[in-house]
Amino acid sequence: MSCGDHGRAHAAYDAHDHDHDHDSTFAGRLRHLLSELFGAHSHDATDQVDAALEADARGRRALWISLGVLAVTAAAQAVIVAFTGSVALLGDTLHNVADALTAVPLLVAFALARKSANDRYTYGYGRAEDLAGLFVVAMIALSSILAGYEAIKRLLDPQDVSHLWAVAAAGVVGFAGNEVVARYRIRVGRQIGSAALVADGLHARTDGFTSLAVVLGAAGVAAGLPWADPVIGLLIAIAILGVLRSAARQVGARLMDAVDPELVGTAREALGSARGVQAVRTVQLRWIGHTLHAEADLTVADGLTIEQAHAIAHHAESHLVDRLPRLAAANVHVSPVSAHH
């Protein structure tokens, strides 16, 4: 006997989930935007909302806000490009714009994930988010390859770097904008359980590293070390490989249905503490996008009626929903002790 899909879970979610109305004034909206970017935001846990839907909204909001920040960053770099007429800086600006567009597949994936399950996609479309994460990982790999290629090219064919102050200024702007976006996406991604959003944050960080290389290279040239620019670029390319490894591990683990063992332990404890449960035989958890799904097999006493066994299963499921953050669905099966002897 099983107690089926609980639907959207709505308890014990991330403390950052929205469950009250915000100040509708301009100042209030501005404070809320800044708190979203830098994390100083808290809520009173009254009037519960559907946290799974709220997590989806927060993910999409993070992507749109970060796109706006990157647009401002690119515009600032474009002003410097126009002032100096530097072709190299123009190329770097266009590169940052192109990399910012990796958020588009994620936005599409978040939109797809909102579609209802059907006879073909019986678990819904949440996996689109994980597939978008693969695209982001590929873009990080491409960033490392391009950075390494450019560095080796400059080592073999050194070129004079002009407008050093402008090059450094553009690098500072690019690093600052990308690092703000990286921190924001990674923080929100971890809070809502989105490996793809975390990976996209890491991708923004690689762009920041590239911009930082521009600053350090310009400083080296100004100090009379013309080889500093390509050497630092090569070191940055190697550093991006470290970021690539981290992003690939997270996205790959998600696609392989890996979960934190502590979550499994919490699930076992929650189910085992439910009244009438004699043993927890199996617990299986999997992420689909940024929502968690659970299946469990429990042992109950012999001689129970169907109604009694169902009540125990439902009670155990409620315990699970209360203890697991971002749980969207649970399927709990119960069987008598005698069935396992």
Pairing of strands 291-300, 279-288: antiparallel
The pLDDT value given to residue 216: 83
The pLDDT value given to residue 161: 67
In Å, how far are 231, 266, 282, 296 from 304, measured between CA atoms? 73, 27, 21, 19
Please name the residue that has the structure tokens 């332990």: 265
The pLDDT value given to residue 76: 86
Please name the residue ranges forming H helices in 256-300: 261-272
Helices and strands counted in the chain (H then E): 10, 4
HSE-CB for 216 with a 13 A CA cutoff: 17
Q: Which residues pair with 283 in a beta bridge?
A: 296
- 6: its two tokens: 């609980």
Please list the ranges in the chain whose pLDDT falls under 70: 1-53, 84-92, 95, 161-162, 341
H or E element, residue 297: strand 291-300
Q: Phi first, then psi: what are they for 332, rounded to 5°? A: -110, 125
The pLDDT value given to residue 92: 65
Closest CA to 61 of 35, 28, 97: 35
Cα 123 to Cα 116: distance, rounded to the nearest angstrom: 9
Dihedral of CA 166/171/176/181: which sign? positive
The pLDDT value given to residue 166: 80
The pLDDT value given to residue 233: 81
Q: Which domains does the chain have, with CATH numbers?
A: 12-27+49-255 (1.20.1510.10), 261-340 (3.30.70.1350)
Q: Phi first, then psi: what are they for 248, rounded to 5°? A: -65, -40
pTM: 0.73
Cα 115 to Cα 9: distance, rounded to the nearest angstrom: 17
The pLDDT value given to residue 89: 63
C-alpha gyration radius of the chain: 25
Is residue 264 within 8 Å of 327, Cβ to Cβ?
no
Mean pLDDT, all residues of the chain: 80
Is residue 328 within 8 Å of 316, Cβ to Cβ?
no
